[in-house]
């Protein structure tokens, strides 16, 4: 059977520092956003933010590796791979930030000590997260780093599945990683996309709240008996309407949805549920809703996870897959927190209470700056 099986998962996010605690908090509909103030700017910036509660300083340069290590161990430990299999494990990473936080800290230190000799962007290394993973697990296989904005880790998943199908690797570790950094927080503030609360598909939606998290998924060509989730495939396309905004008519979203269904040989009526991208931006949600309605005339249950996690940008493909997959495995499709007022222009209302998750196919949407659209198809099997 084509596709790849999910044989291990790890997670650290605002909901919790592992999959089980995050799922429990999701079920309780916890919304862990907290106020965050950046005082270093000439005009202090106050935002809401979903942070990982790890007890560390938010911008500490050593934080990335400290949070990353237990997550990737969670993903690998439950599968029982041999040392040789782990050694050869390829690592696919999707992120928007990569080493920028470390670069900021290093540059800030240099500016304090020797401002005239400080070199901006002292660290520019897309490879760094993969190297941290390899050091943690003692693996040394191929690495791939994807930087396609908010679809980064979804694209890492998509292409890892294809390389597994080709037989290049028996297993692959896919990591989505996004930790707080000043560049992202201030960059989104400058774009005026930031809101205090996230209400995807709500008439009162006004923007997104940023979050951080690291997720890891171990994919395998062969099923392991106790696991019942398979990434069947998916699709990616490029919407050239605007570098920052999806075409609000929904055409490019519909197109990538159709491609994903075509690739997996599915009919729209076979879809049992949808994890929307749901950024709660006025135009983003409009494009997604209209695109979904173009393709699926009768929508299955739709949910959005960002009210629980914040927008974890390049990591959201893996992080939301982990949380959604854990919920499906537990037998439910989660409600989208914060939804109150239907938007008549959308024709879409997300779940406000849990729905049953029966075996079948589920879609996971991710859309990003640069016109990057990615849809993954997840199967909950009966095994």
Q: Contact positions toward another protein, by CB under 8 A?
A: 40-42, 45, 87-88, 90, 96, 100, 103-104, 107-108, 111, 118-127, 139-149, 151, 155, 159, 162-163, 165-166, 168, 182-183, 186-187, 189-191, 235-240, 243-244, 252, 255, 263, 368-372
Those residues whose C-beta lies under 8 Å from the C-beta of residue 381, and which sit 6 or more positions away, are: 223, 228, 229, 230, 359
Separation of alpha carbons 61 and 104, rounded Å: 9
DSSP 108: H
Per-residue tokens: 158? 């998509």
Q: State in angstroms the smallest separation of the CB of 106 from another protein.
A: 10
Residue with tokens 């699709």: 235
| Residue placing its CB nearer to another protein in the complex, 169 or 332 | 169
| Residue placing its CB nearer to another protein in the complex, 125 or 206 | 125
Separation of alpha carbons 252 and 263, rounded Å: 16
Q: State in angstroms the smallest separation of the CB of 103 from another protein.
A: 7
Whole-angstrom CA distances from 328 to 234, 267, 320 are 18, 20, 12
- Residue 363 region, left (φ>0) first, then alpha (ψ -120 to 50), else beta? beta
Strands 171-178 and 360-368: unpaired
Q: CA nearest 47: which of 38, 60, 55?
A: 38
Q: State in angstroms the smallest separation of the CB of 111 from another protein.
A: 6
DSSP 92: E
| Residue placing its CB nearer to another protein in the complex, 240 or 352 | 240
Q: CA nearest 319: which of 68, 131, 102, 89?
A: 68
Q: CA nearest 375: which of 295, 232, 216, 257?
A: 257
Q: State in angstroms the smallest separation of the CB of 42 from another protein.
A: 5
Q: State in angstroms the smallest separation of the CB of 380 from another protein.
A: 23
| Residue placing its CB nearer to another protein in the complex, 239 or 354 | 239
Whole-angstrom CA distances from 19 to 59, 111, 267, 324 are 24, 39, 31, 10
Separation of alpha carbons 277 and 239, rounded Å: 16
| Residue placing its CB nearer to another protein in the complex, 24 or 107 | 107
What would the DSSP string read from start to end of 26-61? Answer: HHTT----EEEEE-SSSS-EEEEEE----SS-TT-T
Q: State in angstroms the smallest separation of the CB of 337 from another protein.
A: 28
Separation of alpha carbons 162 and 235, rounded Å: 11
| Residue placing its CB nearer to another protein in the complex, 27 or 162 | 162
Q: State in angstroms the smallest separation of the CB of 170 from another protein.
A: 11
| Residue placing its CB nearer to another protein in the complex, 228 or 374 | 374
Q: State in angstroms the smallest separation of the CB of 255 from another protein.
A: 7
Q: State in angstroms the smallest separation of the CB of 376 from another protein.
A: 13
| Residue placing its CB nearer to another protein in the complex, 118 or 355 | 118
| Residue placing its CB nearer to another protein in the complex, 69 or 123 | 123
């Amino acid at each position: 059977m084509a596709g790849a099986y999910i044989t291990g998962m790890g997670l650290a996010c605002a909901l919790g520092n592992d999959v089980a605690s995050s799922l429990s908090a999701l079920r309780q509909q916890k919304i862990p956003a907290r106020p965050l103030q950046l005082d270093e700017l000439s005009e202090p910036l106050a935002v809401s933010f979903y942070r990982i509660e790890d007890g560390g300083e938010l911008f500490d340069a050593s934080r990335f590796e400290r949070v990353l290590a237990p997550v990737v161990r969670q993903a690998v430990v439950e599968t029982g791979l041999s040392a040789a299999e782990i050694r050869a494990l390829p690592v696919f990473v999707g992120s928007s930030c990569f080493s920028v936080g470390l670069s900021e800290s290093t540059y800030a230190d240099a500016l304090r000590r020797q401002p005239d000799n400080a070199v901006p962007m002292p660290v520019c290394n897309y490879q760094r997260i993969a190297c941290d993973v390899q050091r943690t697990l003692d693996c040394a296989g191929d690495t791939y780093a994807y930087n396609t904005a908010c679809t980064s880790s979804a694209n890492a998943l998509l292409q890892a599945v294809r390389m597994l199908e080709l037989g290049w690797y028996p297993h692959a570790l896919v990591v989505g990683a996004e930790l707080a950094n000043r560049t992202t927080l201030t960059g989104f503030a400058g774009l005026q996309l930031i809101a205090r609360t996230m209400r995807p598909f709500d008439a009162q939606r006004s923007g997104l709240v940023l979050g951080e998290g690291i997720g890891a998924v171990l994919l395998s060509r062969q099923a392991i008996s106790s696991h019942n989730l398979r990434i069947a495939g998916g699709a990616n396309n490029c919407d050239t309407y605007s570098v920052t905004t999806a075409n609000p008519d929904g055409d490019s979203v519909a197109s990538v949805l159709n491609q994903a269904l075509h690739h997996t040989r599915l009919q729209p009526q076979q879809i049992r549920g949808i994890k929307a991208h749901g950024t709660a931006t006025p135009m983003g949600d409009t494009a997604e809703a209209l695109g979904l309605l173009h393709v699926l005339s009768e929508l299955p249950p739709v949910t959005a996870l960002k009210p629980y996690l914040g927008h974890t940008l390049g990591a959201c493909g893996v992080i939301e897959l982990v949380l959604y997959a854990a919920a499906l495995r537990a037998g439910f499709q989660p409600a989208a927190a914060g939804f109150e007022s239907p938007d008549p222009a959308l024709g879409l209302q997300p779940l406000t209470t849990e729905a049953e998750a029966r075996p079948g196919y589920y879609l996971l949407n991710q859309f990003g700056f640069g016109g990057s659209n990615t849809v993954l198809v997840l199967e909950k099997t009966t095994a």
